[in-house]
Every structure is written in structure tokens, then in C-alpha cells.
Structure 1
Amino acid sequence: MALIAAFARPAQLYLLDEPSSGLDPLTELVFRRQVRRASADGATVLLSSHILSEVEQLCGRVTIIRSGRAVETGALAALRHLRLTHFRVEGVGAAGLADLPGLCNIRTDGDVVEFDVNPADLPLVLEVAAAAGISGLSVSPPSLESLFLSHYDDPTDQVR
């Protein structure tokens, strides 16, 4: 009921705290459309949520808060470039990729290699992968969840 009231009249600012908590999937869809419409109409929508997939779908800028302090703020696309990209490579030439510098979390299973790579090393990985005769490639950008959790994995993480 509160969401209906919030979007009943146009506003310049919407403050939404855990707005989709308890919503069924159909109502969530309607809610996301309303948020996108309000944003497209020039309104500012401040969304506080622990449902990170929802934040990824709706927000252009995010702030990660730890212990009441902002530890990371910026455009989601820019923040993703600060973290590792996940690769899954298939084919007879895939195993050779595991020896490249800058890779971490390397896992091999026959002709399949999975690894994470820093943004700075992406061009080399793509160049070598293209020449390796691979048969399959999937690349996953860092998720908001991985960005969020990276601030909770390190207890010495400082406020930025």
C-alpha cells in the first residue's frame, strides 16, 4: 500500500527503504517499472535494499555501506571495472590460458578452464584466447554481490 501511495503523485525525490520486501513477482515487476518511469521522468530515486539483484537492475549509481559509513560509491559500470571478471573457456587450447599472468582462482576440468582476471589483463587474455582455437567462451562481469562482499571479506577495509 505504501508503494502505491509513494508513486500516486509525481515527485522530484523518492526515498525507498527495502521497497520490494514481501512483494510477489508480479508486483515486483510493476514496482520496477514504476521506479524506471520515475527516473526517466527526471526524479531522483534513493533505494536502500539488501536485494542486490534488484539494485543492479534499477540503479545507475550505488553506495556500499559498512558499519554506517560509505566504503564505495560510484556508477555501477565504473565500480565493476574495479573487480575481477570471470571467464569460462572451452576447447583444446583452453588449458594454455591457465599460464597467463594476472589470472587467479584458476580451475581446470579437462578441456574447460575457469579463472578470474583483472581488468588491466583483459586485452592479453582475449588476444590469447582468440588465437588458442577455443570452442566456447563465456565472460561474466563482476556482480554487485561480489563487489559488496569484497568489502566484508577484508576486516581492515578502510572507508573510501
Structure 2
Amino acid sequence: MNLKIDDGYLALTCKQVVQEGGENKRVLVDCMFQLRRITWCEVSAQHSNIFSWTYRHENKYKRITLNCHSVILKTSKKAREMNRQVSEARQQAIQRHQQLRRKNVVCDKVAQAVYQVLPKLVNSTDERSNKMLTTIEEDEQEL
């Protein structure tokens, strides 16, 4: 199994057992996970060579599902090391994501302060019956 943590992603290449027509086949599988979407990761207390994590998946309709993934490693030392690496990278990815969100909020506020909101315009005619744009006067109502 190969583990690579790079640019906010966890990339795994591992062998997976797939059943086809009653036969078990080992297949190489490549998986990519966004680190900021990993909600939990830990080494099993009962089986120290099993590393598990929960991934928050969001489909195209914004529906969220939690998927549990596990990997069996050769030694418990490798499992603990993998847990440490993923946990640290996950924390860094979450902090980076929060910083980017804060920067976007600040940029939006600056943009709103710099650019004035223009009044709405509609088609009308002038004295020479040429079409021109005029403003709509909106009454402010108190609630």
C-alpha cells in the first residue's frame, strides 16, 4: 500500500479483494480523499494494525453521507505512523481552508464598500421619442 499526502489530499493505492462470479480477485485501487473532509481517524484499540477514518462525502444535491474506510497494515507501528501523518495533515488542511474562507469574507466586504450599488434602470422615451434608461424609484417600507 502506498500513502501520499499532498496539497490537501490523501492519496492511497492499495490492493482490494473483489468478488466476481464467486471468485475472489485482488485489484489495485487508487483512492483520493480531501483531508478537510476526513471527520475522524484512529488506529483500532483491539486490532492495532487497522487504521480507520470517516469521510464526509457530499453528492451533487448537497446531501451529506459519512463513509467509513479501513486499511489493514502489516505492523501496528505503520498504522500509528499513518494515523499521526493523516491527523497532522488534516489539521493543517482545515486551518488553511478556514484562512481562505476568512480572506474571501474580507474581500467581499471590501468589494461591497468600494463599489456602489447602482440604481435599477428601465426603458423609457425622451422628448424626441428615443428610448433611454431611467431609474426606478423604490419606496422604502418600514416593517
Q: TM-score, normalised by structure 2?
A: 0.23
**Larger strand proportion of the pair:** 2
**Larger helix proportion of the pair:** 1
Q: Which has the higher contact order (CA 8 A, sep 6+)?
A: 1
| Larger Rg over CA atoms | 2
Q: TM-score, normalised by structure 1?
A: 0.21
